[in-house]
Structure 1
Amino acid sequence: MMMLDLYAGMRAIEIAALRIGNVVDENGELNEQVYLAKEQTKGQRERVVYFNKRLRKALQDYIAEQGLGDKRQIQLLRTQSGNGFTADTIRRAMRSLFTNAGISNASSHSCRRTALTTLANKGVSVHVIREIAGHANLATAVPGCKQRQAGDGG
């Protein structure tokens, strides 16, 4: 769950909603692009999430270890009791991980912000970052970025 947040910039609600069928294609290969339906996102807007090579490898290993490859309709992340995580249980689990690591005031959203900031620091266009973040407003997607208003001369 931490890697989905940190490498893909996903929200807890999106991580909880991920199904095996979202990340694995019909041939059992990990998707580079994951399409989230509006029911799986904040704001009820469809969006695409991109998985880098490291994340795909980790997910491939996880799915193989858990024997989940052919269970396309179940949630990707499962609790020890076999139930799917909720967004709230993901938030609590990540806060606990941060607390146990001695990192105060961090949450699941901290990884998401780090993912987006890393992209900005690497020179990725703010418009691309907005798309990756799933934000309609550019200023929301990139901290410190202010959208120009029509007629402001900029």
Structure 2
Amino acid sequence: MTSFPRVRIQTDDFDLSTEALALRAADGCVGAVVSFVGTVRDSHEGEALSVMELEHYPGMTEASIERMIDQAFARFDIRAARVIHRVGALAARAQIVLVLVSSAHRGEAFQACEFLMDYLKTQAPFWKKEHLASGARWVDARVADDAAVARWGIEGLESGNAA
């Protein structure tokens, strides 16, 4: 299996192809790699967004995501997983998060990727502030995101709003 870090929190952008190749490079049993790339929307409710600021608690954030990756391994037959999440000031349309999961077969990889994204949207300790023409505002968790993560049996594990 792979020996690269499973979680990276960084200000720099990431390259999907490079990360996917690294995820499967050392494992000949991989038959599927599923990825999710989240980007910063350029508007909120019709109002132009210039910048999204993301904050986190170093150390705590990585440990929290590591625990969810452990949960993904316990729930799904996957070979590897990686989460890269950017922090700092991100312009509209910038890449913000990458979730990669490999498995022998696509179904497990798709489920594990969705599981990890649902977690990141609701439980990971990130805080987002949108900068709009009308001013800056902190982003609240959405009811739809809470419902998505609840189907996995995850409720109120951690605080924060995420990716």
For normalisation by structure 2, the TM-score amounts to 0.26
Q: Which has the higher helix share?
A: 1
**Over alpha carbons, which structure has the higher Rg?**
1
TM-score (norm 1): 0.27
Larger strand percent: 2
